[in-house]
């Protein structure tokens, strides 16, 4: 077992570092698992251990996935086995989990954050997702709630989106000069 060298030396040199504050961990440097993904996609920016139906895998965020003019990002599922090099497949969350979201997925960086949700799923977030309100853009972020079998559950919009919708209605009504028309870019909740 390899222990945090800093904590070990700190404990030896000073009583201010208590051993229960030190965290030890194992690292298998002789048999690593190597996951590879697309270059220039920031593959590996976030990772999450995943298990579904007894199959263990690793979910890997690639927030710059996509062509240079539209890096909306995505998540890859990498199989975990005895092989040193593991295969990874694109999950395509942008097309499945966020299909009912407005067109502003461009450069939103989906997969920048992966976090487990209980009891059986995870969140994949795109923190730079933006909502257009009149002539302004608000980057509120968006998350997709996904089940363990990689089926989308729901889309979770940034907290400011509701404020943005209210402001957008007012701005659009003001810009139009009429109260009977509302911008079609407003997210329907």
| Residue with the two structure tokens 């570092």 | 17
In a domain, 89, yes or no: yes
pLDDT digits (tens, 9 = 90+) for 36-60: 899 899 999 999 999 888 888 999 9
In the prediction, which pLDDT does 173 show?
40
For the chain, the domain total comes to 1
In a domain, 59, yes or no: yes
In a domain, 22, yes or no: no
In a domain, 68, yes or no: yes
Stretches where the chain sits below pLDDT 70 are 1-26, 96-105, 159-189
Secondary element (H or E) of residue 147: strand 142-147
In the prediction, which pLDDT does 19 show?
54
15 neighbors 38 (Cβ within 8 angstroms): no
pTM above 0.75, yes or no: no
In a domain, 31, yes or no: no
In a domain, 130, yes or no: yes
In the prediction, which pLDDT does 180 show?
36
In the prediction, which pLDDT does 48 show?
94
In the prediction, which pLDDT does 153 show?
86
- Rounded-to-integer distance, Cα 172 and Cα 103, Å: 18
In a domain, 164, yes or no: no
Supply the range of the domain harboring residue 44. Answer: 39-154
In a domain, 4, yes or no: no
- Rounded-to-integer distance, Cα 34 and Cα 54, Å: 21
In the prediction, which pLDDT does 164 show?
45
152 neighbors 162 (Cβ within 8 angstroms): no
108 neighbors 128 (Cβ within 8 angstroms): yes
In the prediction, which pLDDT does 90 show?
94
């Amino acid at each position: 077992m390899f222990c945090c060298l800093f904590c070990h030396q700190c404990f030896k040199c000073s009583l201010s570092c208590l051993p229960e504050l030190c965290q030890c961990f194992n690292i298998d440097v002789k048999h690593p698992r190597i996951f590879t993904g697309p270059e220039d996609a920031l593959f590996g920016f976030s990772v999450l251990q995943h298990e579904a139906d007894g199959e263990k895998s690793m979910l890997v965020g690639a927030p710059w996935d996509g062509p240079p003019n539209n890096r909306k990002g995505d998540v890859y599922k990498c199989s975990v086995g005895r092989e040193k090099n593991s295969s990874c497949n694109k999950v395509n969350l942008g097309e499945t989990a966020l299909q009912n979201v407005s067109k502003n997925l461009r450069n939103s960086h989906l997969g920048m954050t992966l976090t487990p949700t209980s009891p059986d799923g995870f969140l994949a977030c795109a923190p730079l997702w933006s909502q257009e309100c009149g002539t302004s853009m608000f980057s509120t972020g968006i998350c997709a709630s996904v089940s363990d079998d990689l089926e989308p559950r729901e889309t979770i919009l940034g907290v400011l989106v509701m404020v943005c919708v209210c402001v957008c209605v007012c701005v659009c009504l003001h810009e139009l000069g009429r109260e009977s028309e509302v911008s079609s870019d407003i997210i329907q909740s």
